[in-house]
């Protein structure tokens, strides 16, 4: 007699339930990550501007707001931007923010994001 091999029906149902759970969580988290990559792209665009080192704070804010309007960035506002100049005159622009994504019932995911021009150059 041959021994049967394979997955039982309950094993299949359990595997499908776990896969559906993971897909639902990924679908809820994906928009936050897509927005993070848009924020990163906006900061990278500012850093690659030829006049970046001589840009004023208002110019950087204006450039970021234009990118935020185009890319529909809602989690980060211009007041969240941090501007730094070191003793050598090098300029850095960074932003740190958190997003709370409700998953189900009273369970939420807290996502911490950081983007900076220091990582670009």
Instruction: Give all strands (DSSP E) within 51-90, no chain letters.
Output: 81-85
Confidence of residue 121 (pLDDT cuts 50, 70, 90): very low
> Domain for residue 85, yes or no?
yes
> Domain for residue 58, yes or no?
yes
Beta 81-85 vs 91-104: how paired, if at all?
antiparallel
CA angle 60, 63, 66 (to 5 degrees): 150
Give 17's contacts (C-beta < 8 A, 6+ positions apart): none
pTM > 0.95: yes or no: no
Structure tokens at 111: 């996502």
Structural domains of the chain, count: 1
Helix H or strand E segment including 12: helix 9-47
> Domain for residue 121, yes or no?
no
Q: Examine the pLDDT at 35 and tell me if it is beyond 90.
A: yes
Structure tokens at 96: 């740190």
> Domain for residue 4, yes or no?
no
**Domain limits at 59?**
31-116
> Domain for residue 18, yes or no?
no
pLDDT at residue 52 in the model: 83
pLDDT in tens, 68-100: 999 999 999 888 999 887 777 778 889 999 999
> Domain for residue 40, yes or no?
yes
> Domain for residue 46, yes or no?
yes
pLDDT at residue 78 in the model: 85
> Domain for residue 15, yes or no?
no
Q: What are phi and psi of 81, to 5 degrees?
A: -75, 140
């Amino acid at each position: 007699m041959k021994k049967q091999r394979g997955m039982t029906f309950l094993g299949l149902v359990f595997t499908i339930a776990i896969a559906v759970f993971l897909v639902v969580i990924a679908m809820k988290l994906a928009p936050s990550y897509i927005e993070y990559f848009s924020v990163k792209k906006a900061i990278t665009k500012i850093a690659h501007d030829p006049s970046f080192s001589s840009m004023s704070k208002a110019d950087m804010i204006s450039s970021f707001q234009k990118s935020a309007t185009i890319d529909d960035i809602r989690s980060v506002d211009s007041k969240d931007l941090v501007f730094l100049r070191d003793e050598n005159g090098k300029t850095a622009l960074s932003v740190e923010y958190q997003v709370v994504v409700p998953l189900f019932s009273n369970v939420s995911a807290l996502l911490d994001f950081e983007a900076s021009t220091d990582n670009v150059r």
